[in-house]
Structures are given as C-alpha cells and as structure tokens.
C-alpha cells in the first residue's frame, strides 16, 4: 500500500523538479520492492536521477541493497523476454531484483544477495 502525502499539485514545480512525499506500507520485503519499482519508474522519466553518480556498492548489513552497474548488452540479457530472466534470477537467489537505469539493485538478506 502506498500513497502520496500532502499533495499540493498545480504549483510552478509541478511539471519538473518538484517532489512529493510517498508513504509506503507493508512488510520490509514489500516496502523495499515497492521503493525499487518507484525508483525505476522515476529513472525512466528522469534518466540519471538515481544513477548518475552510483557505482557498484555492497551492503554488509543483515538486510540491505547491493548495486551492480551493467552495460546495455548485459542488461538486455539479464532482463530476458518480458523480464522473465530477472524474475528467475530473483526467485533463484531469494532476493529482490530491480533494474534502475543500467544498474541492477539486489535487495534482501545478506546470504541471498
């Protein structure tokens, strides 16, 4: 479950550059997955918003997110037809996988990432 908080709308920044608060509710797993989906959607509309200065990162926390930059040819391979390869990789690893721009985000428990 997610919704916008304090939506003002119609302001001068509404077309570009404005921001709104988004509240995401649910389990840790569901919140993280929803956050990554929203990030991917924003990155599609505003390329570089999340990924302009982001390289490979690794979290050593029990729950965290790792990132891995990829080239376009690698990205098309790991996505597969209709995202089927991404879904298979996520299911096999036991973590959440989402692609934000050309960067793979893997979220979940440390052994699964």
SS3 for 11-63 is CCCCCCCCCCEEEECCCHHHHHHHHHHHHHHHHHHCCCCCCCCCCCECCCCCE
11 band by pLDDT with thresholds 50, 70 and 90: low
Torsion of CA 35, 41, 44, 46, to 10 degrees: -70
Q: Which pLDDT value is given to residue 3? A: 82
d(CA 54, CA 25): 26
**Model pLDDT, residue 105:** 94
pLDDT higher than 70, residue 12: no
User: What is the Cα–Cα distance from 104 to 100, expressed in whole angstroms?
Assistant: 6
pLDDT tens readout for residues 30-76: 999 999 999 999 999 999 988 988 889 999 999 999 999 998 888 88
Q: What is the pTM of this model?
A: 0.81
Give tens-digit pLDDT for 20-33: 788 999 999 999 99
Taking residues 94-112, report their average pLDDT. Answer: 93
pLDDT at 10: 56
CA neighbor of 39 nearest in space, from 105, 91, 84: 105
């Amino acid at each position: 479950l997610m919704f916008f908080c304090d939506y003002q709308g119609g302001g001068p920044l509404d077309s570009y550059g404005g921001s709104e608060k988004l509240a995401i509710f649910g389990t840790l797993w569901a919140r993280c997955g929803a956050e990554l989906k929203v990030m991917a959607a924003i990155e599609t509309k505003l390329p570089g918003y999340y990924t302009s200065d982001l390289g490979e990162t690794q979290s050593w926390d029990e729950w965290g997110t790792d990132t891995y930059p990829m080239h376009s040819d690698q990205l098309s391979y790991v996505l597969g037809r209709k995202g089927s390869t991404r879904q298979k990789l996520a299911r096999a690893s036991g973590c959440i996988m989402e692609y934000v721009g050309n960067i793979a985000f893997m979220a979940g428990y440390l052994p699964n990432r």
